[in-house]
Chains A and B, each alone.
Chain A
Amino acid sequence: MNTIANDEAAVVIIGSGAGGGAMAYELTAAGIPCVLLEAGAFIKNEDYHNDEWDAFRQMAWLDARNTSGSWRVAKDFPGLPAWIVKAVGGSTTHLSGATPRFKDYEFRARTTYGDIAGATLLDWPISLEDLAPYYDKAEIAMGSTHRHGRPALPANNNYKVFANGAERVGYKQYATGPYATNAEPYDGRPAAIQDGFNFQGDKNKSKWSPLMREIPRALETGLLDLRPDSHVVRITHGADGKADAVLYLDKDGNLHRQVARVVCVAGNSIETPRLLLLSDCSRFPTGLANGADHVGRHYIRHMTCSVYAQFDKPVHMFRGETMAGIIADEAANNPDRGFVGGYYMETLSLGPSFLAAFIEPEAWGPEFAAMMDAYANTAGMWIVGEDMPQASNRITLSATVKDQWGLAAPNVHFDDHANDTAMRDYAYGQGAEAVRDHGGGFLAPYTALSLDAQPRHLPDEREARGWCGRQMGPGARGAEPLRLGRLGDDHRRRGEPELTIVALAIRQAEYLAGELKAGNL
């Protein structure tokens, strides 16, 4: 590994997740030395626990955080607004692996959706056409199945229920991917062994992540100075107002200073704005890059819920790749449904303890126990839709809660937009008949299996029961920024953003490398 002196003006990258990891890889590949500062520990794939709670305690960002607003997370999990990973590789170590591209109109959300009251929609400054070549590179890097010759993952048990239900409803756009986990060996990574723990660091190394690909390769160039357990808490600037150094805490709370020529901020949607706000000074009293008062605003997550159905025969949903199943039929923008935007459905499996803790956070009693008793016969899916951006949904510095170092903790404020509520109501409000007539509703793929009286393989007595865990915070990974170094933008997204983050980082690295080599920075 390279060692860059603290007083050497370096290219500094903050955060080693999808964006920072890709940036470090691309820049070092272009011959540019980098310092990569990661707040969390360097946990290798093999060090992760094949156990939900043990891995959660190992990887989750559990520093003090606070929440406010009318979202249910503020009540159920007030200190855990999002499940973000604090470790080398960032939240990609908890990523499912799904890699949907944004659709062309999602780059023109303001134009496509029109004037939505209370929403701060914007069109992107670039189009899908601009990003398409980088999407290709990102898919090849990540080894997305169904893309560039990568074969599909096989159907596991949970997918069999999911896909058959989809077919019955009339959905067509279902498949086991695209999914950044190998069906056969590729790029130095083995084929998946369907171990069911790729959310927990993926011990088998079949899933793409910077921990597996970009960071080791950047280290091999001899140009990367990777510093785990290095939490940046302030960006400083010179007399010209440009960033000139970063200050960071090591795991013992000692402060260090790294002089910087360029700073790439690739934290997550909570820590990046927090860092800019913590960097306030007399010249920039509201924090860095915040002249327009947009830092931390327009926070979006996922319109999300999970759905479980129980059958009279075994499913064993936990056996296999957790999220290797996607239905895209509801992802298109179809305002006739009463809302703009859309959502994906993806297979999901939780172990008994996670299911018990998250399905209905205050539930107990005989009915709850009966639901748990049918665990082996349970199939699960996750709904991942888009939120409307709103200026009042915002990351701020908490006035009351401090982290372990005495620094202001981030406060995440969130209220549903009427469009978010309409999308959720569309799902919950669908009666069985309406589901069959209109092919909609989160429960549709499951209820379809119980309603169809014809199928040879489905006895009439089959009964599906469904639960919608309402708005589960920790079930949703954090909302990561899609661009390095720019905040306050409206990042339209449905489905997992990592592919888009990597594509943007490759594009930005190309630009940055050119500017650095030309001596413009």
Chain B
Amino acid sequence: MHPLAFTLDTGKDEASRALLVRAVRVAFPHANFPDSAYERTADVILTAAEGTPAQKLGFAATLHDLDQAGFAAMDDAAALEHLKSIENTPFFILTRSATVVTLYDDPEVWAVLGYEGPSFDKGGYINRGFNDLDWLPEPRIEEYEAAQ
């Protein structure tokens, strides 16, 4: 794989996007999450990186460094170690902070995690399992009498 040329227009560059998708997957590895969720997250990060010229430049430079380091070809363990070495860079801080509020806010990811989300339009959970936990005894719901 040939190293990428330095690109400032990371949001429109497929190779940059692919590199970022890989970085997000290594940083937040979920075997059952679809690629599409990681791609949507990468797109949000790329948009968020379009701040000041300085931010844009810094983001592009770190992506370029990742590419130069052969990040795309690293196995999971090596890639993880590499990300640890850059975890205090503005690039990684942006990637991490944007991922937690994007990747885990994705309905496709919710389905994988078993989170059913908005419920009001479905009548809440009162008839959809709000009390279906059956591996513990039914607890008391009233206050302890001796305390009254």
Q: Do A and B come from one complex?
A: yes
Q: Residues on A close to B: CB < 8 A?
A: 50-51, 53, 146, 152-157, 159-161, 163-164, 167, 172-177, 192-197, 203-204, 311, 313-316, 318-320, 328, 351-353, 355-357, 362, 364-366, 368-369, 372-373, 375-376, 449, 457-458
The answer on a CB contact under 8 Å between A316 and B133 is: yes
Question: Nearest chain-A residue to B87 (Cβ)?
Answer: A364
**Cβ of A193 and Cβ of B123 under 8 Å apart?**
yes
A196, B133: Cβ atoms closer than 8 Å: no
Question: Which residues on the A side are within 8 Å of B100 (C-beta)?
Answer: 353, 356-357
Q: B17 on the interface (CB 8 Å rule)?
A: no
- A-B contact sample (4 more), CB < 8 A, given A319-B116, A353-B101, A376-B114: A196-B124, A315-B133, A316-B114, A373-B30
Q: How far is the CA of A186 from the CA of B99 in the complex (A)?
A: 43
Q: Confirm or deny: B6 has a beta carbon within 8 angstroms of a beta carbon on chain A.
A: no
A364 x B105 contact (CB < 8 A):
no
- The answer, among A167, A192, A365, A366, for a CB contact under 8 Å with B139, is A167
Q: Among the listed B27, B32, B116, B131, which residue makes an inter-chain contact with A318, where contact means beta carbons less than 8 Å apart?
A: B116
Contact A320 B125 (CB under 8 A): yes
Q: Cβ of B136: which chain A residues have Cβ within 8 Å of it? A: 160-161, 164, 449, 457-458
Closest CB in chain B relative to A76 CB, distance in Å:
11
Q: Is the CB of A159 within 8 A of B139?
A: yes
Q: A355 to B105, alpha carbons, bound, how many Å?
A: 10
Across the interface, do B138 and A155 meet the contact criterion of CB distance under 8 Å?
yes
Q: Which listed segment binds A: B7-15, B65-73, B140-148?
A: B140-148
Cα distance A147–B123 in the bound complex, in angstroms: 27
Q: Could you say which residues of chain A place their CB within 8 Å of the CB of B102?
A: 353
- A-B pairs with beta carbons under 8 Å apart, 15 shown: A51-B117, A160-B133, A163-B141, A173-B143, A173-B144, A175-B142, A193-B124, A195-B124, A318-B116, A318-B117, A319-B125, A351-B110, A366-B29, A373-B113, A376-B113
B119 A369 Cβ-Cβ under 8 A? no
Known: A353-B100, A357-B101, A369-B28. A160 touches B144 (CB 8 A): no
Q: Provide the bound-state CA to CA distance between A153 and B141, in Å.
A: 7
**Interface flag for B75 (CB, 8 Å):** no
Task: Tell me if A369 and B29 are in contact (CB < 8 A).
Answer: yes
Q: What separation, in Å, do the CA atoms of A167 and B141 have in the docked complex? A: 12
- Given the complex, which residues of A lie within 8 Å of B140, measured CB to CB? 163, 167, 174-175
Query: Which residues of chain A are near B84, meaning CB under 8 Å?
Result: 365
- B interface vs A, CB < 8 Å? 27-30, 32, 80, 84, 87, 96, 99-105, 109-110, 113-121, 123-126, 128-133, 135-144, 146-147
Nearest to B31 among chain A residues (CB) is: A373
- Distance in angstroms between the alpha carbons of A352 and B130 in the assembled complex: 18
Q: Contact at A352–B80, with CB atoms within 8 Å?
A: no
Of listed B30, B32, B131, residue having the most chain A CB within 10 A? B131
**Do the beta carbons of B113 and A372 come within 8 Å of each other?**
yes
Chain B residues contacting A53 (CB-CB under 8 Å) are 101, 105
Nearest 9 interchain pairs by C-beta: A193-B124, A376-B114, A163-B139, A195-B124, A50-B118, A353-B105, A319-B125, A356-B100, A194-B130
Determine if A146 and B126 form an interchain contact, defined as CB atoms under 8 angstroms apart: no
Chain B: minimal CB distance from A57 (Å): 11
B146 touches A172 (CB 8 A): yes
Contact of A152 among B101, B137, B141 (CB under 8 A): B141
Query: Closest CB-CB distance, B113 to chain A, in whole Å?
Result: 4
Q: Is the CB of A319 within 8 A of B113?
A: no
Rounded to whole Å, the gap between the CB of A114 and the closest CB of chain B is 26
| Chain B binding surface, main DSSP class | loop
- Which residue of the partner chain, among B105, B128, B129, contacts A352 with CB atoms under 8 Å? B105
The answer for the CA separation of A58 and B115 in the assembled complex, in Å, is 22
Residues in B whose Cβ lies below 8 Å from that of A351: 110, 115, 117
Chain B residues whose C-beta falls within 8 Å of the C-beta of A457 in the assembled complex: 135-137
A368 to B125, CA, bound (A): 28
B147 touches A173 (CB 8 A): yes
Q: Which residues of B contact A146 (CB under 8 A)?
A: 142-143
Min CB–CB distance B49 → chain A (angstroms): 18
The reply to whether A319 and B129 form a contact with Cβ atoms under 8 Å apart is yes
A19 shortest CB reach to chain B, Å: 27
When C-beta atoms are compared, the residue in chain A nearest to B144 turns out to be A172
A205–B80 Cα distance when bound, in Å, is: 47
Known contacts being A351-B115, A372-B113, is A157 close to B120, with CB within 8 Å?
Answer: no
Assess whether B80 is in contact with A195, with CB atoms less than 8 Å apart. Answer: no
* CB closest chain-B residue, reference A146: B143
Separation of A449 and B139 alpha carbons in the complex (Å) = 14
From known contacts A193-B123, A356-B100, A372-B104, infer whether A160 and B138 are also in contact, taking CB-CB under 8 Å: yes
Closest-by-CB residue of B relative to A202 is B120
Pair B104/A175 contact, Cβ less than 8 Å: no
B80 touches A365 (CB 8 A): yes
- Once the chains bind, are A156 and B27 in contact (CB under 8 Å)? no
Report chain A residues within 8 Å CB of B96: 362, 364
CB-based contact B147/A172 at 8 Å: yes
CB distance from A415 to the nearest CB of B (A): 26
Docked Cα-Cα span, A457 to B114, in Å, equals: 23
Taking the nearest CB of chain B, how far is it from the CB of A83, in angstroms? 15
- Complex-state Cα separation, A223 to B99, whole angstroms: 49
Bound-complex Cα distance A173 to B101 (A): 37
A residues within 8 A CB of B123? 193
By a CB distance below 8 angstroms, the chain A residues around B138 are 155, 160
Q: How far is the CA of A319 from the CA of B147 in the complex (A)?
A: 29
Chain A nearest Cβ from B62, distance in angstroms: 16
Cβ contacts under 8 Å, B101 to chain A: 53, 353, 356-357
Q: A314 contacts B115, CB within 8 Å?
A: no
Closest-CB distance, A299 to chain B (whole angstroms): 27
The residue of chain A having its C-beta at the shortest distance from the C-beta of B119 within the complex is A195
Q: In whole angstroms, what is the CA distance A355 to B139 when docked?
A: 26
User: Contact between A352 and B115 (Cβ–Cβ < 8 Å)?
Assistant: yes
Give the docked Cα–Cα distance between A154 and B103 (Å). Answer: 33
Q: State the CA gap A29–B98 with chains docked (Å).
A: 49
Distance between Cα atoms of A161 and B120 in the complex (Å) = 24
A194 touches B124 (CB 8 A): yes
What is the CB-to-nearest-CB distance from B139 to chain A, in angstroms, rounded to a whole number? Answer: 3
A159 vs B124: C-alpha distance when bound (angstroms): 17
| Contact of A161 with B114 in the complex, beta carbons under 8 Å | no
